[in-house]
Amino acid sequence: MSWIDWVVLGLFLAYVVGDGLRRSRGTRTLEGYYAGRRSIPWWAAGLSVMATQASAITVIGTTGQGHEGGMEFVQMYFGLAFSMVLLCIFVVPLYRAQPILTAYEYLERRFGASTRSLASAIFLVSRCLAFGIVIYAPAVVLSAMTDLNLSFTVVFIGVLTTFYTMIGGVSAVIWTDVKQMVVIIGGLVVCLVVLLWGVLSQLGIGEALQALGASGKLNAVELQPASLDFIPRAHGSEGAKSFWEDRYNFWSGLFGGLFLHLAYFGCDQSQVQRILTNPSVDQSRKALLMSAFAKVPMQAVVLFIGVLMYLFFVLHPSPMLFKPGDVAAAGDDPRVMALAEDYEQVRQSRRQLILRIAKDGSDPATLASYQGQVVEAERIRRQARELLHDGRDLKDTNYIFPHFILHHIPVVLLGLIMAAIFAAAMSSADSALNSLSAASVVDFYKRWFRPGASDGELLWAGRGSTLLWGAAATMAALMFEGSGSVIELINEVGSYFYGSLLGVFVLAVVCRRAGARAGFFGLLGGMAAVLIVHNNWAFEYLWYNVIGAFGVLAVGVPVSYLERAR
């Protein structure tokens, strides 16, 4: 990065943090700190929800996912619009009918303090882990750009985000998110233009689409699952995969994605908090619907950037390894250097074949040759990673997009892209931090330890808990080095917990006879169901949301009848 890019990035960070703090001045009450005095307009809350979703995980992980797997990941969002409509009809009025600050306060009114505390604790664990991934994603980019140690960049980003969230509260979070969303969109547009220029300089639009289709990168809708065997396969057993092991298809996206998004937007405090900051029920609904109908097109565009990046790297020189540390280490290992020569030969052969496919069509022989070269290139890359990491295949999916922007984005625009990545990271991190603090103070500190505490004391407790959660999440971020795609990782982490949280809220709404024991043991039952299934049978993570929700109902409903019988 040039000094101009650093200036652009520094000015952006200074502006968004300073303006967010300015807008939150005068916050003296707990409601002001966690609910923005319930005066945030719907469009700002909606943009904040979108900015939280368009995290650095989206910018880095989704582009990497598009590069590796094509458009299939977009199917995960097919249930999103349905989930938002259901939340607007049933959940928003429920939360706004009472002056609550966290979603889990509602559970105490239905099931008692134990269920509220258990649900809040589950949220705290899941959100802290997810927050760690949010910090890790931009730290990868900063490390790649500067050659700084990844651990140092993780700590730097964690400290920066913790500082302004601790001082400003949710008002600083939301108004900062609004500006960050504009920068994120600008950065994505720049990347899209550069990629289109690089691809269309060698291929026409039709030829590029022909090449991408032959590469299997435009598979946005898969109605026919890989298997129709609905009997789950035990871990380690032989035989073909079952229906539940096809990670992304229309059905897993529609049903598994529906449950995931119902839980995330309806039961996760980081999102529920946006509903609670608006002046009215109607404004809360507008905020949710705005984010719902903008999310899928935006996610598709980000994925398509990754897909174009794949074709760009086929047409233009591309490295065998994307992670800077691996590239540096490769020069000292003659075995890896020999693999690099083999990879270059395969890369050139792959380029000639894709040009032939794009211009002359994909006859079976040429397509088979191309696919064989793709497999061979990936085999070489995997072997190189294993040689550098003592037999471990530490994937570099999350370094593909950083490599592209570092080597192919012009000066000044590179600073804008870096600002967009930081904006995306901070918009998700500040939301997570403020919600972690809210759940800690409202659901535990105030509820169990200091019920009569003044707003001043609770504000100090809130800022202190923000600091502690920032430190905890920064340490969690250090665990994710060498992980796969961060966009899949964060959804997988959430899916272990979200189904059970959704299930206990559904139980509260649809089963009026359910009491305290039904809520508490139902929630435990949902978590146990996910754990048992995960340890014994092969299921892809989107189905964990369905399993957790039905696990809660399978335990909670019978317990409610037993309670009444007594």
Other Cβ atoms less than 10 A from the Cβ of 529: the count is 22
Q: How far apart are CA 53 and CA 181, in angstroms?
A: 10
Which residues in 277-298 are b (16+ Cβ under 10 Å) and which e?
A: bbeebebbbbbbbbbbebbeeb
Cα 340 to Cα 362, 377, 383, 391, 401, distances in angstroms: 28, 10, 11, 18, 20
- Model pTM above 0.95: no
Report the CATH fold assignment for 3-22+32-217+254-310+404-478: Sodium/glucose cotransporter (1.20.1730)
What number of CA atoms fall less than 13 Å from residue 550's CA on the CB side? 9
> Do the beta carbons of residue 243 and residue 543 sit within 8 Å?
no
* Both structure tokens of 55: 């995290």
Specify the DSSP class assigned to residue 255.
Answer: I
What number of CA atoms fall less than 13 Å from residue 558's CA on the CB side? 7
Q: What is the pLDDT of residue 113?
A: 92
Q: Please list the rounded mean pLDDT of every run of 10 residues in the chain (566 residues).
A: 78 73 65 74 81 68 82 84 89 85 89 92 86 75 72 80 71 74 81 92 90 86 73 78 80 86 87 84 88 82 91 89 73 82 91 88 84 90 84 75 84 76 71 86 90 86 88 80 62 84 92 88 94 89 91 94 74
* Both structure tokens of 258: 């529906």
Q: What is the pLDDT of residue 248?
A: 79
Q: What is the pLDDT of residue 169?
A: 65
Residues in the chain: 566
Q: What is the pLDDT of residue 334?
A: 85
* Both structure tokens of 405: 């922007």
Domain extent listing, the chain:
3-22+32-217+254-310+404-478, 324-393
Q: What is the pLDDT of residue 528?
A: 95
Residue spans of alpha helices (H) in 201-280: 205-214, 250-251, 257-267, 269-277
Q: What is the pLDDT of residue 246?
A: 79
Cα 272 to Cα 46, 189, 276, 352, distances in angstroms: 12, 30, 7, 52
> Do the beta carbons of residue 31 and residue 269 sit within 8 Å?
no
